[in-house]
Amino acid sequence: MKTRITKLFGIQHPIVQGGMHHVGLADLAAAVANAGGLGMITALTLGSPEGLRKEIARCRSMTGKPFGVNLTFLPSVNPPDYPGFVNVIIEEGIRIVETAGNNPQEWMPLLKDAGVKVIHKCTSVRHALKAEAIGCDAVSVDGFECGGHPGEDDIPNFILLPRAAEELSIPFIASGGMADARSLVAALALGADGVNMGTRFIATKEAPVHDNVKQALVEASELDTRLVLRPLRNTERVLNNAAVQRLLEKERKLGSDITFGDVAPEVAGIYPRVMHQGDVAAGAWSCGMVAGLINDVPSVADLIDRIMTGASDLIGDRLSRLAGLQASASDVLFSGD
């Protein structure tokens, strides 16, 4: 299956593993790359530019196929060493970067001069158009269903993806609710050039997280996520648990007077405890509605293979058969019988 995304990034399948805090490490990125998709190392998880350099080297020891680096630009009083991270990306010859968060325009000249292709995560058409205007090579269009930060517009992918297709000239991938062959075929039908999967890739054998996390995703349904931090206009979709309920109660009680300090116990420093120690009730951690479609923990290779095989079957069998039935019905309608 060749799309603008497979051609742009030199990958076999139009499947991208998005950056995920304490999940997007070499183990997962290399497994996705080896299976023909595009894996991503999450830079900020590594703590420092040198930590990222070591993780890139570790990933290269595990795969000879293309992989990228996710770099999220956060609004912060004490920001990470972004110049250092960008320099490592360039010095190590990384050719694909997924940016997220704030507008990456400041860093585009350095990245583009180094031959880096940039894909930016967007939750609205207007943001996607801005990314196109500043020179991004592609965008990830994240619908309201997605885990993590869905933005503040609450537009689901059945509306957002066709709108993006109407407005954009650059390739884009669909993110949010993507889990299987049906997701891929639907995304392509709606105008996307591939899919980005986050939550689904956490529930794989190679994902470097505690088994409790994977089991929590298998057990969850599409009803088990909640939106937190809405009063702070930093909305995040997370898996429901007791800590999340405490956080939501604080939001209800404090309303517009709430501050980050009020919710810090439920969100600050949570990911190491959840992802590495397996304390899935420690606080709020990102999870998409797609948890309702996760029923097992396959290897990355098995997951991608069944998505691509299933997509081929859907296109070649079900859709072709439906097209044939439609043609037959048309023959009857217009034959005069």
The pLDDT tens digits along the chain (337 residues) read 899 999 999 999 999 999 999 999 999 999 999 999 999 999 999 999 999 999 999 999 999 999 999 999 987 778 999 999 999 999 999 999 999 999 999 999 999 999 999 999 999 999 999 999 999 999 999 999 999 999 999 999 999 999 999 999 999 999 999 999 999 999 999 999 999 999 999 999 999 999 999 999 999 999 999 999 999 999 999 999 999 999 999 999 999 999 999 999 999 999 999 999 999 999 999 999 999 999 999 999 999 999 999 999 998 877 777 777 665 544 554 555 4
Query: Which whole-number Å values give the CA distances from 121 to 35, 38, 92, in the listed order?
Result: 23, 15, 23
**Domain boundaries defined on the chain:** 4-207, 213-289
CATH class of 4-207: alpha beta
Phi and psi angles of residue 119, each rounded to the nearest 5 degrees, phi first: -115, 125
pTM listed for this prediction:
0.93
**Number of CB atoms found within 10 A of residue 79's CB:** 11
116, two tokens: 């880096």
In this structure, are residues 231 and 251 in contact, taking their beta carbons and an 8 Å threshold?
yes
d(CA 159, CA 181) in angstroms, rounded, equals 20
Going by C-beta distance under 8 Å and a sequence separation of 6 or more, which residues neighbour residue 62? Answer: 26, 27, 30, 31, 34
Report in angstroms the alpha-carbon separations of 102 from 22, 106, 155, 197, 280.
20, 10, 20, 21, 29
What crossing angle do the helices spanning 260-267 and 242-254 adopt, rounded to 10°? 170
- The one-letter amino acid at 14: P
